[in-house]
Structure 1
Amino acid sequence: MNKAILPNKKFHSINFLSLFFKLEESEYVSENLKKYFDIFRDFNTSNDAKDKEIISFNSDYIKDENRQSLIANSVVLCQKYFNGIKDFAGQNNFKKCYIKFFINEDLKLYEKESRIYLDLKIYNSNEYNITHNDEILGLSNFNTGMNSKKPFLEHKSRLFKIPYVISQKDALATKMLFDWLGSQNKITVRDFDSIFMSKFNKNSKAVVSDFEYVPVSESNFKFDKLKIKDFMDIKNGEREILSFDDFKQVIDEQLYQKRLFGNLYNDEIRVSKLLSEDMQNLLYQTRHSMIEYFEKFNSNEFYYVIQKYSNDFIKVAMQDGEFGRLNAKKSINLLLSIKETKGEKVDIDEIKNRVISALTDDNITKLNGNEYYFLVGNLAMRLVNKSKGWKKTFALTESYTKARNTKKLKMILFSDFDRYKYDIFIGDEILRKAFLLAQNCEDLVMSNSDQQMVLIGMTAKNIIKKSGEKDEVNE
């Protein structure tokens, strides 16, 4: 909203009861003081027909003799004290400050005079105003996405250019709401029952980015207890999640590495030493569903998104150079436990035992899907452990985690087997047996669950090693 009555913006007040100006503009203000106050005698500063229509609703009040007398009195008072106040500011070395005059009148008169100005300025543009039942209706100036300088924002496919019109009373109430929102030093506003609202400030103005009626409060939200099972054989891996707040915390810690809630509404998530590009992408792709669930208690998308991006969560956890394996195991425990609540059970111990049985069998059997992909993941870790790099992390397995079919997996395994053959003991029968089992598979496209089982095989304890041999990838 343009606060200045005159286009040159030398005068900053909006009624004849006040006078605001910058100290450095004193000379200009003094010379044009009467001209400024004369504007309020009839508000005849615009030739625009819509502006004149708004003024016409207050014409009787504006022309009232008593009001005209009050304007004349304001001119006399401001002229009388103008130089004294200006000199006082100069003597006390005030620089680049505002001078503000207030005429001692009733507050209701201030409100009435200011309302005339607001009626002229409250809408996005008076061009779209209409008159209905002797009342002016216009386009709201807040959260409309409408700008006359950008016509492509108009509603071209509709009968009318603008989406809706509101009364001056509602427009003023909306302005007061947005002024209040702009003063709130928080992103999510929870001051209203059953309403979720998030906002950000742009150019000192509040912009509502999300708004929804939420009939369920957090205290009334029904959260089913979750038991996190220890699928990956880690110390203290089993735990029970009893509350919604605990669930929020475990999702943030084990899937987002404590980066979720600090970035829910951050549109400029920056890559750093503490936040990888993969995590950045994951946050952008999933946070809307996290907002829906954790802020609005709407679970419609939550479980679908958790499963869709489950492998990405595991891969991000694996990236930690120091705790990659442990983080990944915790993520897998959580993801598989959530999957079980939806009736999808995975018995990792049974899969592992069948793979061990196949490794010790005299024949080369064909493993089923889960067993095969678990074996490939385990074998991949066995091979990359032979790298001579000083620090062995899951980055060495990137080619495996990007594979989308079994043909590619077999090619990578063959390449790594050839690369590290100098370090493969000729009598290491279990490794050779694992390689033959991994090659004994048709060329298949891998599903999300297949790729996940490869990741599980990578992070599980290595079963393709000789007795006493250490698993060298960082735990």
Structure 2
Amino acid sequence: MIYDLLDVFNKKYEEHGDELILGNYQLKDGLYVIIKENDEFEYYIYQFDKKIEDKSLSLKDLKNDRRKDKYYDLAQKDYYSSYLNSNKAFFDKKIHNVNYLSFFVKVESFISKDEKKLLDFDIIKKHFEAFIDYSKFTKKEEKEILVNYKDRFTDENRKQQILKNYQIVADNIQNFVEIAKENGVSNYIKVFFEAPMENYQEESNIYYSIKIFNDISYSVNVENKVFGLSDLNMGLNAKKPFLEHKTKTFIDKKTIAPFMIEQNNVLHAKKFFDWLKYQKYQDKYPNGKQFFLNRDYKEKDLITDYDYLPVEIDKFNAPFQIINYLQIKDEKNIKIDELWQLENIVDEVLYNKQLKSNYFNDDIKVSSFISKKLQQLIYETKYAMLNYFKKYDDREFYQVIKRYGLDFVTEHIRNNREYKAKESLNLLFTLKEQQGVENMDIKKMQEKMIQKLEISDYGNLTGEEFFYLCGQVAKYLLSKSKSGKKDADMLEPFLRVKNIKKLKDEIKFTFFKYKHEIGLNQTKFNNAMSLITAYEGSEKIENDSFLIGLLSQNIFYMKKEEN
């Protein structure tokens, strides 16, 4: 996965360099101090404001003037000075910078009432001194890498600059804390010494050379190239033995690591994930249309789903229309040209707008929007929808529509969303037709049934006709209820039936319940009851035909001119 993504990213990086990352870089809230070469101090406060689209406008000086002009400089220094994560701190977890040209601490490290959170001043001194020669890093693998920086470590001018920077921080840190408190800063204090940006990069590269891998003890040298386990989107420790390779390879026993990557590549991979962190979470194709990436909502550089997409079919070769088969009043046919349009309609019509927001949610809660049944349907079908709408793979999509489609219709009915149920049937019929499946011609069925009932034709019904007529009769009978509350509970017995006998019994029961509302001269209806009673088929329940009868225009209320 990493190599595939890097191939594309590196082409962009070769053209734009770190600007590719820094163009979207987000500073953290805090007090920013720039110490000039003449030892003068400049102070800036960054407090991110969601209401302002341009994040650089959230940077202000102590006079409360916006200082967009300073944002990029601070972003560069901050990017080249930040640790990989708290487990990769250079010296102490309370100090977050990785070179001697900066100093990052939390305000609470100086004002907390919890002594465990306070930073010992002696630690600050040791932190800076450790940059002189990196002698605190004593593992064999670390020493093999650090020998490459011997000339830098023995540079006396560099050593004196480190000690000078320490002294300035030590002498002024309490003043920085006071300024932070006075200006309502509760997060970071970040100090930067004015220096060429190349110095920031070179110093930080020393840190990355020994910290970029998950655990340097897994590293191996092969033909003068260092390979190790990437710490990016991958972890391996004593708690994750299942990630280990269980067989030896050509190198040595260290290669229990599940994935080895060369040092230069892992540095490029770091830049890729740094860039990825600042891409919009909603964008599932940030690295090009041939890669689908879903990322953790909070840790946006953590990839939770990845797929290579050999083709892109976001537009249909032959646009189609969602037909108003049920002749819903004022409903128009909807033209579909692009895949996202179909996705929106499937989400709104079938899932009651609960699909897209739950593609990657593995803890869907039952609520006023999501019933227990809809929760189950989402869990069982969402990956087929995701694969189609985001990865252009329709192999499971139509199988799911065939297997679960009517469940969405009945779920709408059970929750008193009859209009949505009708829309769902229209959508399902359209999708079936796209697969070459012939649908019931509802208008012809209506005409045929009306003619049959008006002339008292008692010839045998087909299965499709029987179930359609049952739906029509059930809806008509329930409409005779004088109860002020006409809801899905009345239809529930019909939705639960599993065989023809039970369906006929429910219709008879409902008929006797409301027969006082039906006159002897209602020929069409009485003929319908006779045909249903006389039907002797034993096939499985045809839910689609029954639901069409239930939800389509009722023939017992149609006027002569509508026939």
Give your verdict on TM over 0.5: yes
Tell me, in whole angstroms, the C-alpha distance in 1 between the residues paired with 2:351 and 2:216: 48
Partner of residue 303 from structure 1, selected from 380, 386, 398: 398
User: What secondary structure sits across from 1:243 in the alignment?
Assistant: strand
Tell me, in whole angstroms, the C-alpha distance in 1 between the residues paired with 2:353 and 2:186: 46
Bigger mean CA offset, 12-21 vs 110-119: 12-21
Q: CA deviation at 1:232?
A: 2.0
1:16 aligned onto 2:110: no
- CA deviation map 1:139-183 (0-9, x unaligned): 222333655324345566998754321122222222222222222
Bigger mean CA offset, 420-429 vs 410-419: 420-429
Tell me, in whole angstroms, the C-alpha distance in 1 between the residues paired with 2:436 and 2:165: 81
Partner of residue 421 from structure 2, selected from 314, 321, 328: 328
Q: CA deviation at 1:188?
A: 2.2
RMSD: 3.6
Q: CA deviation at 1:88?
A: 5.8
Partner of residue 551 from structure 2, selected from 459, 462, 465: 459
Give the partner amino acid of 1:342. Q
Bigger mean CA offset, 453-462 vs 388-397: 388-397
Tell me, in whole angstroms, the C-alpha distance in 2 between the residues paired with 1:332 and 1:22: 58
Q: CA deviation at 1:422?
A: 5.0
Tell me, in whole angstroms, the C-alpha distance in 1 between the residues paired with 2:471 and 2:422: 14
Tell me, in whole angstroms, the C-alpha distance in 1 between the residues paired with 2:325 and 2:109: 75
Q: CA deviation at 1:457?
A: 0.7
Tell me, in whole angstroms, the C-alpha distance in 2 between the residues paired with 1:254 and 1:97: 45
Tell me, in whole angstroms, the C-alpha distance in 2 between the residues paired with 1:218 and 1:204: 29
Partner of residue 168 from structure 1, selected from 263, 266, 269: 263
1:37 aligned onto 2:128: yes
Give the partner amino acid of 1:177. F
Q: CA deviation at 1:434?
A: 2.7
Tell me, in whole angstroms, the C-alpha distance in 2 between the residues paired with 1:158 and 1:403: 60
Tell me, in whole angstroms, the C-alpha distance in 2 between the residues paired with 1:350 and 1:187: 46
Partner of residue 431 from structure 2, selected from 338, 345, 362: 338
TM-score norm. by structure 1 comes to: 0.81
Percentage of pairs with the same residue:
31
Q: Is the 8 A contact 2:497 2:503 kept in 1?
A: yes
1:52 aligned onto 2:140: yes
User: What secondary structure sits across from 1:225 in the alignment?
Assistant: strand
Tell me, in whole angstroms, the C-alpha distance in 1 between the residues paired with 2:401 and 2:558: 37
Find the counterpart in structure 2 of residue 349 from structure 1: 443
Q: CA deviation at 1:360?
A: 4.5
Find the counterpart in structure 1 of residue 288 from structure 2: 193
1:375 aligned onto 2:459: no
**Which sections of structure 2, spanning at least 5 residues, go unmatched?**
1-84, 111-117, 250-254
Q: CA deviation at 1:75?
A: 1.3
- CA deviation map 1:435-467 (0-9, x unaligned): 343342333333xxx211110010122235697
Find the counterpart in structure 2 of residue 410 from structure 1: 504
Give the partner amino acid of 1:333. N
How many residues of Structure 1 are paired with residues of Structure 2 in the alignment?
458
- CA deviation map 1:230-251 (0-9, x unaligned): 4323335452515225544444
Tell me, in whole angstroms, the C-alpha distance in 2 between the residues paired with 1:467 and 1:188: 53
1:181 aligned onto 2:276: yes
Q: CA deviation at 1:421?
A: 4.5
Q: Is the 8 A contact 1:125 1:139 kept in 2?
A: yes
Question: Cα–Cα, structure 1 residues 349 and 105, in superposed 2: closer, same or farther, change >3 Å?
Answer: closer
- CA deviation map 1:255-277 (0-9, x unaligned): 34444444444555444444544
Tell me, in whole angstroms, the C-alpha distance in 2 between the residues paired with 1:413 and 1:242: 40
Find the counterpart in structure 1 of residue 171 from structure 2: 83
Find the counterpart in structure 2 of residue 312 from structure 1: 407
1:398 aligned onto 2:511: no
Q: Is the 8 A contact 1:237 1:330 kept in 2?
A: no
Q: Is the 8 A contact 1:130 1:137 kept in 2?
A: yes
Find the counterpart in structure 2 of residue 129 from structure 1: 219
Give the partner amino acid of 1:231. Y
Tell me, in whole angstroms, the C-alpha distance in 2 between the residues paired with 1:405 and 1:147: 57
TM-score norm. by structure 2 comes to: 0.70
Q: Is the 8 A contact 1:123 1:138 kept in 2?
A: yes
1:207 aligned onto 2:291: no
Q: Is the 8 A contact 2:355 2:382 kept in 1?
A: yes
Find the counterpart in structure 2 of residue 223 from structure 1: 317
User: What secondary structure sits across from 1:443 in the alignment?
Assistant: coil
Tell me, in whole angstroms, the C-alpha distance in 2 between the residues paired with 1:452 and 1:355: 17
Question: Cα–Cα, structure 1 residues 163 and 101, in superposed 2: closer, same or farther, change >3 Å?
Answer: same
Question: Cα–Cα, structure 1 residues 376 and 66, in superposed 2: closer, same or farther, change >3 Å?
Answer: same
Q: CA deviation at 1:433?
A: 3.6
Tell me, in whole angstroms, the C-alpha distance in 2 between the residues paired with 1:228 and 1:70: 72
Question: Cα–Cα, structure 1 residues 76 and 378, in superposed 2: closer, same or farther, change >3 Å?
Answer: same
Question: Cα–Cα, structure 1 residues 67 and 410, in superposed 2: closer, same or farther, change >3 Å?
Answer: farther
User: What secondary structure sits across from 1:206 in the alignment?
Assistant: coil
Give the partner amino acid of 1:13. N
Q: CA deviation at 1:353?
A: 3.5
User: What secondary structure sits across from 2:276 in the alignment?
Assistant: helix
User: What secondary structure sits across from 1:445 in the alignment?
Assistant: coil
Give the partner amino acid of 2:287. F
Q: Is the 8 A contact 2:131 2:162 kept in 1?
A: no
Q: Is the 8 A contact 2:142 2:216 kept in 1?
A: no
Find the counterpart in structure 2 of residue 149 from structure 1: 239
